[in-house]
């Protein structure tokens, strides 16, 4: 249905969308309240909870990022195949664990790293098959 191949500029836009999405996840994680704050017993507790949630700068940064990703993603989808765009944007499955280790001091198991490597290999295969499909049409 779509006709354009992924140009280096489009690839850069796709990857930047992944970076924005990754930081969106990080902002939402940082805005999460401790489990003790989730004990809402009455209306006053609910209001305190809502005030705590909506006063978080991380939450607002995350919401702005969601809006930016939506705008960029809509533009991307108007230019390339959905199956290619989603596959290339799977870089967030790689970026989120890496940034979680760096910014949140999370531990990632060897098995999960192995899964991330398989995802990367899959992205490469999808990108290569997209190129073959386009060259076959010409």
Q: pLDDT tens digits, residue range 73-127?
A: 888 888 887 877 887 777 888 888 999 999 889 999 999 999 999 988 987 887 7
Residues 108, 82 contacting (CB under 8 angstroms): no
Residue 1 has pLDDT above 60, yes or no: no
φ/ψ bin of 105: left (φ > 0), alpha (ψ from -120 to 50), beta (otherwise): left
Quick count: other Cβ atoms within 10 Å of Cβ 27? Answer: 20
pLDDT value of residue 134: 47
Q: pTM value?
A: 0.69
pLDDT value of residue 80: 81
Q: Where are the domains of the chain?
A: 8-137
């Amino acid at each position: 249905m779509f006709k354009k191949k992924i140009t280096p500029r489009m690839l850069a836009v796709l990857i930047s969308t992944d970076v924005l999405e990754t930081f969106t996840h990080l902002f939402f994680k940082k805005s999460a309240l401790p489990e003790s704050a989730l004990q809402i017993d009455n209306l006053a507790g609910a209001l305190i909870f809502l005030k705590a949630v909506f006063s978080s700068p991380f939450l607002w940064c995350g919401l702005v990022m969601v809006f930016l990703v939506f705008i960029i993603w809509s533009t991307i989808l108007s230019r390339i195949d959905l199956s290619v765009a989603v596959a290339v944007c799977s870089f967030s499955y790689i970026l989120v664990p890496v940034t979680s280790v760096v910014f949140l001091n999370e531990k990632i198991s060897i098995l999960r790293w192995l899964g991330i490597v398989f995802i990367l290999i899959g992205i490469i295969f999808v990108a290569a098959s997209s190129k073959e499909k386009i060259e076959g049409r010409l």
